[in-house]
Chain A
Amino acid sequence: MPAVPRSALLLLPLLGFMVLTYLVPFLGILRWSVTLPEPGFGQYQTALTDPLVLAVFLRTFRTCAVVTLVTVVASYMITLLWVRGTPMQRLVVEFCILIPFWISVLTRAFGWLALLSTKGIINTWLQTTGILSEPLTMVRNEFGVIVGMVHFLIPFAAFPLASAMRTVDERVLLAARGMGASRARVFTQVFVPMTAPGVLGAALVVFVFALGFFVTPAILGGGRSVMAAELVYLRIFQSPNWGLGAAISVILMLGVGGLLALLMRQVRPAGTR
């Protein structure tokens, strides 16, 4: 056998490309985080002790947790129909999941602005029908951010949930029914536990996505409820402190890396079973 088979050359272009365009520049970000404005770990200290930055991290964590919970529950409800509905229901639901999935994040955030802003559709309707006299503030705050992010992330949670639900053995459910369990009991005590690995997987995927996400929060949060990823953007472009922006990026990368490692450990035993 030759030392290096010729087919190994096929791997090189993409690997070289990624190393040059991604890995090496990422080292540059690491360098920024420990050299700007002065050498040392000062920026990490700021990122982890400054009350303003800490408040942003806390808000990011809280928002992502709420978003993950709502997204997974909503996705579970719609995926149930996607996997187990009548053929017609499945088709309609598939449409409702796929169409938003393919539409740009900007269009979707804009749709929420059109619905939720003070001169938007919902407020106009509430005021013309006389239900409210003052408009409700539903965007440029955490509520708007959560709504927009949940909307963005539902399809991403639906895919892993659907594959978990498809593996449930129908005979197990029938057996539970046959032994006298009510439909609700079959669902809560048999179906949900059997899809639990999928739920955990979906939750991790959603949480990881939500952490590093900044387009929807920037539009629907309107600069009021800034999240960690948007803070990076602000520290690079608006009130520059490149070192701090880089340090927050590195922290985000480590956080996501840790969560992904968890995900891998969780997925592997399920796959080998």
Chain B
Amino acid sequence: MMTRPGRLATSLAALVAVFLLMPLIAVIPVSFTPNRYLSLPDGDWSLRHYRALLENPGWVKGFGLSVGIGVISATLATSLALLFSLGIWILRPRFTGLLMGIALLPMVAPPVVSALTLYFFLITLSKFNDRIAYDTWAGVALAHSVMIAPYAVVLITVALAQVDRRLDLAARGMGAGLMRRIHSVILPNIRFGVSSALLLTFVLSWEEIGVTLFITSVNAVTLPRMMWMGLRDNIDPAIAAISVILIVVVFVVISGKTLWQRRTIAQPK
């Protein structure tokens, strides 16, 4: 029998929970304001800021750009991370710590240092070509891949840690080559880890702003970059509208996932 937290502990935790949800709830009424500035709808609710999202080509373009960059960088980062994590798992090299350190560097370094580093990288590339360069979509996708690959490494490494090595040994003993072992034995066992890595890296690229701020100016304006511009000077209530949409999506996905997990736990085969 577990000792449950008492009334005081429960109320303190409830306070923190309210604190966590408060700003997310606050954007809902603001998004329906009829005014052009940040304010509460004074009895007069309006959908004009939602309409602005569809009518302003900047938001539409930013949305498309963010989806495209997210898909490409998540795929690239997860592929590289998958190969790397497989290599570490199969080989168990002597310098695992050091190799992991290099792979995880962009995750542990301060975001502003990564941003400056990638800025340097892209303006250097700009001297040689204008496709993968500063303020281009390909440059942003490349920079995002660098930033999100460590998270894919972590998720896939965790998934691999659950795989029974004896399966691989058996396959190897029966003469399977490296490719066959990976394709027919290891990959089927880490499918869930790889798809989680794809999803997480997509979301991380989708909402990336720290690095994006350094490496874009007027051409490659992703959705977060667009939001940033509306946040800095005169606060544009269209940001409340887009925020509400994003919050609803996250809410639905997390609720769905939780319910689905509970159902699968409740009804074992």
Interface residues of A (CB under 8 A from B): 5-11, 13-15, 17-19, 21-26, 28-29, 32, 74-75, 77-78, 80-82, 84-86, 89, 91-100, 102-115, 117, 119-121, 124, 151, 154, 170, 173-174, 177, 183, 186, 208, 211-215, 218-219, 228-230, 232-233, 236-237, 245-246, 249, 252-253, 256, 260
Could you show 8 A-B contacts with beta carbons less than 8 Å apart? A10-B87, A13-B84, A15-B102, A17-B146, A100-B24, A151-B20, A183-B3, A253-B109
Q: Chain A residues with Cβ under 8 A from B2's Cβ? A: 84, 170
Judging by beta carbons under 8 Å apart, are B210 and A11 in contact?
A: no
The smallest C-beta distance from A133 to any residue of chain B, in angstroms, reads: 19
Q: Mark B8-52, 1 if CB is under 8 A from A, else 0.
A: 011011111101111111110110000001111000000000000
For B153, give the chain A residue with the smallest CB separation.
A14
Judging by beta carbons under 8 Å apart, are B4 and A95 in contact?
A: no
For B203, give the chain A residue with the smallest CB separation.
A102
Chain A contact surface mostly: helix
B112 CB–A CB distance under 8 Å: yes
Judging by beta carbons under 8 Å apart, are B102 and A23 in contact?
A: yes
Interface residues on B, range: 35 or more
Judging by beta carbons under 8 Å apart, are B124 and A119 in contact?
A: no
Interface residues of B (CB under 8 A from A): 2-6, 9-10, 12-17, 19-27, 29-30, 37-40, 80-81, 83-84, 86-88, 90-91, 93, 99, 102-103, 105-106, 108-121, 124, 142-143, 145-146, 149, 153, 178, 203, 206-207, 209-210, 213-214, 224, 227-228, 231-232, 235, 239-240, 243, 246-247, 250-251, 253-255, 258
Complex CA–CA separation, A22 to B79 (angstroms): 18
Complex CA–CA separation, A226 to B115 (angstroms): 18
Judging by beta carbons under 8 Å apart, are B111 and A15 in contact?
A: no
Complex CA–CA separation, A23 to B153 (angstroms): 18
Most buried by B among A17, A112, A232: A17
Would A74 and B16 be within 8 Å (CB), given that A103-B246, A107-B243 are in contact?
yes
Judging by beta carbons under 8 Å apart, are B102 and A253 in contact?
A: no
Would A18 and B210 be within 8 Å (CB), given that A99-B21, A100-B20, A109-B231 are in contact?
no
Judging by beta carbons under 8 Å apart, are B116 and A245 in contact?
A: yes
The number of inter-chain residue pairs (CB within 8 angstroms) is 276
Complex CA–CA separation, A49 to B16 (angstroms): 40
Would A110 and B113 be within 8 Å (CB), given that A8-B93, A11-B91, A13-B84 are in contact?
no
Would A253 and B26 be within 8 Å (CB), given that A5-B91, A102-B203 are in contact?
no
Most buried by B among A77, A93, A117, A177: A77
Complex CA–CA separation, A189 to B204 (angstroms): 40
Inter-chain pairs besides A82-B13, A110-B235, A215-B213, 9 sampled, C-beta below 8 Å: A14-B81, A26-B117, A28-B117, A80-B13, A93-B17, A98-B254, A102-B254, A119-B37, A214-B210
Judging by beta carbons under 8 Å apart, are B112 and A183 in contact?
A: no
Would A215 and B22 be within 8 Å (CB), given that A78-B13, A249-B112 are in contact?
no
Judging by beta carbons under 8 Å apart, are B26 and A111 in contact?
A: yes
For B12, give the chain A residue with the smallest CB separation.
A77
Nearest first, the 8 closest Cβ-Cβ pairs linking A and B are: A212-B110, A111-B23, A10-B87, A104-B207, A81-B13, A14-B84, A229-B112, A25-B121
Would A11 and B4 be within 8 Å (CB), given that A81-B10, A229-B110 are in contact?
no
Judging by beta carbons under 8 Å apart, are B110 and A97 in contact?
A: no
Judging by beta carbons under 8 Å apart, are A120 and B38 in contact?
A: yes
Complex CA–CA separation, A17 to B145 (angstroms): 10
Q: Chain A residues with Cβ under 8 A from B203's Cβ? A: 102
Complex CA–CA separation, A31 to B146 (angstroms): 21
The smallest C-beta distance from B122 to any residue of chain A, in angstroms, reads: 9
Most buried by A among B117, B207, B214, B243: B117
Specify which of A113, A120, A186, A236 is in contact with B119 (CB 8 Å cutoff). Answer: A236
The smallest C-beta distance from B227 to any residue of chain A, in angstroms, reads: 5
